């Protein structure tokens, strides 16, 4: 809850954006030292002394609050459930009491508007006393009988973790006894350790581990690897983002293995009758092929020392490339340049024209956006990407907040800072919306990017809310929100600009229809 | 894909019954089978839904973050003033708290939150891991009650200690601690409490208005637009009128034992049941006027006013419903709701609209409920207890259902396979109770069942199933 004092990097000003598209293996854009040098050259008009560029809020200096009020994060098994839904024929089981599965189903259903079946080992008191082994076996057997899954994922709840019930132990003996059964892949997802974003990442890591050499599900068919094969690991994104990533890979002639792939399972077509297993998902054989690829791309923010599916593959000799989410021209350029390098192909014309139109619209929109104060309260992968994107447009990011683990957001933004900071960004890691509320009153942003959760606090302050993150429970089409690539950036730019125009128009006593 | 055999788990066969296929027999009140993908939640959920609408109380969820995150401002319970219930408060236990115990964090949380928000009472919900790590929540609550001078009440709602019904009981136990603590002087003899009404979309206000028009004083709605002070005075009422019988009956029983306040079970859904509720209350006052010190003239007046009210409201409501009924005639419906009591009313309303009920079930019904449901239903109606997506979708297909009535978790099942849907759960924002609620309900189901979009769905379009 308490953001630590941050040794702040200086306020920065953007270099002249050049037409070149290039990727750097460590981070996109100019290096930090380059940027620091640039900082010395000039400031924006309203820039403040360098020491205030990234700072700790004053409220944090008081006694820390004990309770969390209006949380910014959800629990780890929710992330696990989404990741397991991205496995072809995958059914998640939450190991614990019945409520966790039901609450999570309801939360996911209200966002994705899809049926999402999640099993539970339905702990009663005896399971708490004697352990959950027999309940988990019962759940696996019932799920197997009725769903005929290809893969079962078992995510532990707080309860199972607290009583020390570790399915990894007894699932190993079950596997020996029933080698023909579908693989059951356990992951430890106690919510007193982490939230939904880490739960997702840990589950992807568990999946990659299980299907890689030496893993519990490594035996079995392996997808054929060709020169066109390319692997990509993702953090929690929208189904539309997943589809977009696959299409961009295809435009480079690449055949992507995207893991996990819930682009269809959580945003599918109408059915004539109920399908126990929705179509789509990353196949077991595709997961097995990941460790055989020469290279893997992992999207998102991974502070040094963090473990992920990508680091597991790295240990199997796969070259790991990490890129931030491709939002904004610069980040999308890095992504595109990476694909060009990977495929050995020129950037396809369709992408160049998409980029060209986006640049053109940057010029058309820039004046509406310059200096507009922005607060981003999204997950720890999306928040830094949106902050950099807004900075790239000349907007003024004033708050970056997340329910992320301590220091994660701060480290990501320090390692790869935005090009231009007007007068400082306040960073709140491990935050809740009460803390965000206090920050909004202090920093008075013009726009908020988040999920639907801060709707009330934005409404009370007459600040428009742009919904980009999970969950979105008060709008339609959350599963089709595209944030990534030149297309996603274009959509975001149009949305942001129109939101600003609409606000001005609504607040104006004149109300011109011609702006 | 799903024949009966493939849709229903062997261990669940006893929890499904088809009227006419065999003599009535249905297993229920069982824990959910592991891996059955039950639509039920947990003990905590039961407690949380009952106490949630008490708007001037602090609802602190003691445990890791999930339980608080998923119950933050999710219900349509309205408040006429304070809205503390719409915030989410959690002790958000972390690994070290789990290792060393969460009592200190709980105490500090209560101390700070009570100072900051000045609630009239605090409910502390113990979640699963509290039961496992053994925090003495009662002791912390007792201590904070003494220090802060407001009731700080533990709610023993560890998720694994039973079903949602046990959560209702835990909530009732918590309410019992408030009832009887307030000043009841000045409460007139013709006073009632409304139990089991959560003021979704302002429904409690609609119902209270009916009673007030009848000359009956509503002392407390306990859990709808709830206030701690009102709950504390609830023992000043002559009668408890209980809706949603599953959740608040334990409190009504306790109040009968402790304060001699009898209770009536009612439903406000549908013209027939809503009228019956008002008549039953009026009749009760006529029959008990002497005992409760009510002037017999006043009691007769209540009855007369109830008759007038029902006549007026019915005359106003019926023509509005008729226009829907004409178009809905012949449609087939399925119901799956939390408590079975609601299915009785829904069955009656749907019948009055010309819609047949082919499938009815609930998460927590008991044997008597299901027996009554079977008696009310038509031949061939399937009854399910504690069902799941595969079963529900199987029966939707088998019975060729046009319209499904349920909650959030049932909605995507219906829509995915091209079936109309009406939300009759706690998250809805449209009033479905009372006379005006019937009109809303008819409009709601018509908007879905009569929509032209279904002809594009694989189920109905040429080419058939997909």
pLDDT in tens, B419-452: 999 999 888 899 999 999 999 999 999 999 999 9
- Identify the burial level of A511 via C-beta atoms within 10 angstroms of its C-beta, where 0-12 means exposed, 13-18 middle and 19 or more buried: exposed
> Could you read off the pLDDT of B176-194 as tens digits, one per residue?
999 999 999 999 999 999 9
pLDDT, average across residues A14-40: 34
Q: Are B158 and B43 in contact (CB under 8 A)?
A: yes
Q: A191 and B32 in contact by Cβ < 8 A?
A: no
Distances (CA, A) of A82 to A301, A488, B97, B319: 19, 22, 28, 48
Give the largest Cα separation in chain A, rounded.
76
Confidence grade of residue B5 (pLDDT, cut at 50, 70, 90): low
Distances (CA, A) of A178 to A84, A137, A478: 22, 12, 40
**Facing B65 at nearest CB: one of A71, A98, A272:** A71
Q: Are A442 and A77 in contact (CB under 8 A)?
A: no
From CA A371, how far away is CA A94, in angstroms rounded?
A: 46
User: Which residue on chain B is closest to A431 by alpha carbon?
Assistant: B92
pLDDT of A24 over the 60 cut: no
**Facing A192 at nearest CB: one of B34, B97, B417:** B97
pLDDT of B114 over the 80 cut: yes
Q: Which of residues 129-148 of B touch A (CB under 8 A)?
A: 129, 131-133
**Facing B108 at nearest CB: one of A66, A143, A190:** A66
From CA A411, how far away is CA A17, in angstroms rounded?
A: 25
pLDDT, average across residues B318-327: 93
Q: What is the mean pLDDT of chain B?
A: 94
Confidence grade of residue A40 (pLDDT, cut at 50, 70, 90): very low
CA atoms within 13 A on the CB side of A115: 29
Confidence grade of residue A3 (pLDDT, cut at 50, 70, 90): very low
pLDDT of residue A145: 95
pLDDT of residue A430: 93
How remote is the C-alpha of B59 from its chain's centroid? 19
**Among positive and negative, which fits the CA dihedral B456, B458, B463, B464?**
negative
From CA A234, how far away is CA A86, in angstroms rounded?
A: 11
> Could you read off the pLDDT of A287-329 as tens digits, one per residue?
999 999 999 999 999 988 899 999 999 999 999 999 999 999 9
Task: Look up residue B53 and give its DSSP letter.
Answer: T
Q: Could you tell me which of A119, A117, A120, A275 has the C-alpha nearest to residue B394?
A: A275
pLDDT, average across residues A220-247: 97
Confidence grade of residue A129 (pLDDT, cut at 50, 70, 90): very high
Share of chain A above pLDDT 90, in %: 83
pLDDT of A5 over the 50 cut: no
From CA A254, how far away is CA A132, in angstroms rounded?
A: 44
Q: Are A104 and A112 in contact (CB under 8 A)?
A: no
Q: What is the mean pLDDT of chain A?
A: 89
Helix (H) or strand (E) holding A256, with range, is: strand A255-259
pLDDT of residue B426: 85
Pick from A16-30, A98-112, A158-172, B158-172: least confident: A16-30
From CA B1, how far away is CA B32, in angstroms rounded?
A: 24
Q: Which chain A residues are closer than 8 Å to B105 by Cβ?
A: 66
Distance from CA of A406 to the nearest CA of B (A): 12
Which residue's entry shows tokens 């030149």? Answer: A486
CA dihedral B410, B412, B417, B421 (to 10 degrees): 60
* End-to-end Cα separation, chain A, in angstroms: 43
Q: How many CB atoms lie within 10 A of CB A421?
A: 30
Which residue's entry shows tokens 């259902």? Answer: B401
From CA A467, how far away is CA B449, in angstroms rounded?
A: 31
**Facing A107 at nearest CB: one of B70, B86, B91:** B70
From CA B58, how far away is CA B122, in angstroms rounded?
A: 4
Helix (H) or strand (E) holding A270, with range, is: none
Which residue's entry shows tokens 């930090």? Answer: A32
From CA B42, how far away is CA B106, in angstroms rounded?
A: 22
CA atoms within 13 A on the CB side of A177: 6
Q: A125 and B161 in contact by Cβ < 8 A?
A: yes
| Strand-strand pairing, B217-220 and A68-69 | unpaired
pLDDT of residue A4: 37
Q: What is the DSSP string of B368-412?
A: HHHHHHHHHSPTT-EEEES--HHHHHHHHHHTT-SEEEE-TTTHH
pLDDT of residue A423: 80
CA dihedral B207, B208, B209, B214 (to 10 degrees): 100
How remote is the C-alpha of A466 from its chain's centroid? 17
pLDDT of A11 over the 80 cut: no
Confidence grade of residue A367 (pLDDT, cut at 50, 70, 90): very high
pLDDT of residue A436: 97
pLDDT of B290 over the 60 cut: yes
pLDDT of residue A419: 83
pLDDT of B327 over the 80 cut: yes
pLDDT of residue B246: 77
Proportion of chain A in helix, strand, coil states, percent, rounded to 5: 45, 15, 45
User: Which residue on chain B is closest to A69 by alpha carbon?
Assistant: B89
Crossing angle of helices B164-178 and B245-259, in 10° steps, is: 40
CA atoms within 13 A on the CB side of B128: 34
What's the pTM value of the predicted model, to 2 decimals?
Answer: 0.93
Q: B94 and A136 in contact by Cβ < 8 A?
A: no
**Among positive and negative, which fits the CA dihedral B12, B18, B24, B28?**
positive
- List residues bridging with A230 in a β-sheet: A256
pLDDT of residue A143: 97
pLDDT of residue A43: 26
Radius of gyration of chain B (CA): 23
Q: A274 and B397 in contact by Cβ < 8 A?
A: yes
Q: What is residue A34's three-state secondary structure?
A: helix
From CA A486, how far away is CA A493, in angstroms rounded?
A: 10
> Could you read off the pLDDT of B55-78 as tens digits, one per residue?
999 999 999 999 999 999 988 899
Q: B98 and A162 in contact by Cβ < 8 A?
A: yes
* End-to-end Cα separation, chain B, in angstroms: 10
A–B interface: beta-carbon pairs under 8 A: 251
Q: Which chain A residues are closer than 8 Å to B112 by Cβ?
A: 65-67
Distances (CA, A) of A452 to A263, A473, B73, B197: 21, 6, 11, 28
pLDDT of residue A55: 54
Pick from A36-45, A115-124, A159-168, A171-180: least confident: A36-45
Q: What is residue A149's three-state secondary structure?
A: coil
pLDDT of B463 over the 90 cut: no
pLDDT of residue A64: 77
Which residue's entry shows tokens 């007894």? Answer: A170
From CA A394, how far away is CA A366, in angstroms rounded?
A: 7
DSSP alpha helices (H): ranges in B226-295? 228-232, 245-259, 271-292
> Could you read off the pLDDT of B255-287 as tens digits, one per residue?
999 999 999 999 999 999 999 999 999 999 999
Q: Which chain A residues are closer than 8 Å to B131 by Cβ?
A: 128
Pick from A178-182, A253-257, B50-54: least confident: A178-182
From CA A244, how far away is CA A263, in angstroms rounded?
A: 9
pLDDT, average across residues A442-453: 97
Residues whose CB falls within 8 Å of the CB of residue B221, separated by 6 or more in sequence, listed in order: B193, B194, B197, B199, B204, B208, B230
Q: What is the DSSP string of B319-347?
A: HHHHHHHHHHTT-EEEEEESSTHHHHHHH
pLDDT of A160 over the 60 cut: yes
pLDDT, average across residues A500-506: 95
Q: What is residue B222's three-state secondary structure?
A: coil
From CA B440, how far away is CA B349, in angstroms rounded?
A: 12
pLDDT of A47 over the 70 cut: no
pLDDT of residue A515: 79
Residues whose CB falls within 8 Å of the CB of residue B145, separated by 6 or more in sequence, listed in order: B151, B152
Distances (CA, A) of B320 to A515, B185, B209, B314: 46, 43, 21, 10
| Strand-strand pairing, B57-62 and B121-126 | parallel
- Identify the burial level of B96 via C-beta atoms within 10 angstroms of its C-beta, where 0-12 means exposed, 13-18 middle and 19 or more buried: exposed
Q: Which chain A residues are closer than 8 Å to B35 by Cβ?
A: 93, 119-122, 138-143, 146
From CA B361, how far away is CA B380, in angstroms rounded?
A: 14
> Could you read off the pLDDT of B212-228 as tens digits, one per residue?
999 999 999 999 999 99
Which residue's entry shows tokens 């809740």? Answer: A432
Q: How many CB atoms lie within 10 A of CB B219?
A: 24
Task: Look up residue B203 and give its DSSP letter.
Answer: H
Pick among A63, A99, A138 to test the B interface (most B CBs inside 10 A): A99
Q: Does B83 touch chain A (CB under 8 A)?
A: no
Q: Are A479 and A512 in contact (CB under 8 A)?
A: no
- List residues bridging with B19 in a β-sheet: B22
CA dihedral A319, A322, A325, A326 (to 10 degrees): -70
Confidence grade of residue B462 (pLDDT, cut at 50, 70, 90): low
């Amino acid at each position: 809850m308490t953001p630590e004092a941050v040794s702040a990097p200086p306020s920065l000003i953007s270099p002249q954006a050049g037409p070149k598209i290039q990727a750097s293996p460590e981070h996109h854009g100019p290096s930090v030292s380059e940027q620091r040098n640039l900082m010395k050259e000039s400031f924006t008009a309203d820039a403040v002394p360098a020491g205030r560029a990234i700072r700790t809020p004053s409220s944090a200096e008081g006694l820390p609050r004990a309770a969390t009020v209006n949380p910014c994060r959800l629990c780890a098994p929710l992330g696990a459930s989404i990741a397991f839904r991205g496995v072809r024929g995958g059914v998640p089981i939450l190991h614990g009491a019945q409520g966790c599965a039901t609450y999570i189903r309801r939360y996911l259903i209200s966002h994705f508007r899809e049926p999402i079946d999640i099993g539970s080992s339905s702990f009663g008191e005896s399971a708490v006393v004697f352990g959950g082994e027999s309940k988990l076996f019962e759940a696996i057997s019932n799920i197997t009988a009725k769903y005929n899954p290809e893969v079962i994922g078992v995510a532990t709840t707080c309860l199972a973790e607290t009583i020390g019930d570790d399915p990894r132990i007894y699932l190993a003996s079950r596997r020996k006894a029933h080698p023909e059964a579908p693989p059951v892949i356990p992951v430890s997802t106690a919510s007193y350790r982490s939230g939904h974003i880490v739960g997702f990442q840990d589950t992807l890591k568990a999946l990659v581990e299980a299907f890689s050499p030496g893993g519990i599900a490594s035996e079995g068919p392996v997808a054929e690897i060709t020169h066109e094969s390319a692997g990509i690991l993702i953090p929690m994104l929208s189904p539309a983002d997943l589809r977009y990533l696959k299409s961009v890979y295809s435009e480079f002639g690449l055949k992507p293995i995207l893991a996990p792939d819930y682009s269809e399972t959580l945003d599918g077509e109408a059915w004539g009758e109920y399908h126990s297993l929705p179509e789509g998902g990353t196949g077991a054989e595709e997961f097995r092929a990941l460790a055989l690829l020469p290279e893997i791309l992992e999207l998102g923010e991974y502070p040094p020392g963090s473990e992920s599916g990508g680091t597991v593959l790295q240990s199997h000799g796969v070259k790991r490339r990490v890129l931030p989410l491709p939002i904004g021209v610069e980040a999308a350029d890095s992504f595109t340049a990476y694909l060009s390098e990977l495929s050995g192909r020129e950037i396809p014309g369709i992408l160049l024209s998409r980029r060209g139109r986006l640049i053109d619209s940057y010029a058309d929109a820039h004046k509406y956006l310059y200096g507009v104060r922005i607060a981003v309260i999204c997950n720890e992968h999306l928040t830094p990407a949106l902050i950099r994107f807004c900075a790239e447009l000349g907007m003024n990011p004033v708050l970056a907040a997340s329910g992320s683990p301590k220091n994660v957001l701060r480290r990501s933004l320090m390692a790869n800072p935005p090009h231009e900071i007007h007068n400082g960004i306040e960073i709140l890691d491990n935050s809740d919306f009460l803390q965000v509320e206090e920050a909004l009153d202090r920093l008075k942003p013009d726009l908020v990017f988040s999920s639907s959760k801060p709707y009330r606090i934005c409404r009370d302050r007459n600040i428009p809310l742009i919904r980009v993150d999970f969950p979105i429970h008060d709008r339609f089409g959350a599963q089709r929100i595209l944030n990534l690539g030149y297309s996603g950036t274009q959509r975001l730019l149009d949305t942001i600009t129109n939101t600003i125009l609409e606000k001005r128009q609504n607040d104006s006593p004149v109300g011109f229809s011609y702006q | 894909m799903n024949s009966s055999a493939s849709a229903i788990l062997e261990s669940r066969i006893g929890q499904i019954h088809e009227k006419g296929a065999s003599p009535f027999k249905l297993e229920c009140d069982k824990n959910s089978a592991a891996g059955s993908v039950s639509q039920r939640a947990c003990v905590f959920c039961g407690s949380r839904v009952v106490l949630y609408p008490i708007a001037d109380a602090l609802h602190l969820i003691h445990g890791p973050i999930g339980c608080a995150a998923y119950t933050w401002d999710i219900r349509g319970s309205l408040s006429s003033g304070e809205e503390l219930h719409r915030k989410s408060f959690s002790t958000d236990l972390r690994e070290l708290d789990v290792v060393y115990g969460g009592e200190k964090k709980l105490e500090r949380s209560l101390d700070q939150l009570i100072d900051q928000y000045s609630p009239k009472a605090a409910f502390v919900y113990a979640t699963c891991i509290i039961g496992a790590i053994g925090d003495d929540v009662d002791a912390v609550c007792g201590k904070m009650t003494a220090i802060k001078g407001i009731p700080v009440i533990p709610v023993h709602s560890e998720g694994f200690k039973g079903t949602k019904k046990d959560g209702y009981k835990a909530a009732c136990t918590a309410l019992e601690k408030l009832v009887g603590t307030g000043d009841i002087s000045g409460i007139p003899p013709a006073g009632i409490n409304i139990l089991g009404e959560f003021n979704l979309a302002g429904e409690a206000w609609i119902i209270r208005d009916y009673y007030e028009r009848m000359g009956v004083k509503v002392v407390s709605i306990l859990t709808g637009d709830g206030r701690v002070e009102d709950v504390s005075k609830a023992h000043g009422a002559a009668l408890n009128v209980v809706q949603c019988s599953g959740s608040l009956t334990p409190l009504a029983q306790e109040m009968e034992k402790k304060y001699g306040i009898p209770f009536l079970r009612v439903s406000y859904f549908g013209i027939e049941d809503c009228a019956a509720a008002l008549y039953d209350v009026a009749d009760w006052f006529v029959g008990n006027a002497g005992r409760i010190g009510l002037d017999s003239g006043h009691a007769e007046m209540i009855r007369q006013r109830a008759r007038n009210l029902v006549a007026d409201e019915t005359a106003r409501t019926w023509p509005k419903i008729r226009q829907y009924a004409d178009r809905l005639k012949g449609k087939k419906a399925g119901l799956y709701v939390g408590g079975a009591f609601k299915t009785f009313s829904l069955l009656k309303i749907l019948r009055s609209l010309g819609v047949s009920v082919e499938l009815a079930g609930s998460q927590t019904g008991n044997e008597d409920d299901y027996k009554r449901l079977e008696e009310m239903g038509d031949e061939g109606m399937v009854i399910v207890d504690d069902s799941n997506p595969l079963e529900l979708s199987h029966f939707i297909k088998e019975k060729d259902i046009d319209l499904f009535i349920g909650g959030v978790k049932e909605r995507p099942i219906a829509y995915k396979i091209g079936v109309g849907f009406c939300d009759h759960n706690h998250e809805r924002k449209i009033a479905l109770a009372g006379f005006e609620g019937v009109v809303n309900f008819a409009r709601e189901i018509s908007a879905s069942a009569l929509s032209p979009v279904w002809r594009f769905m694989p189920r109905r379009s040429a080419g058939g199933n997909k």
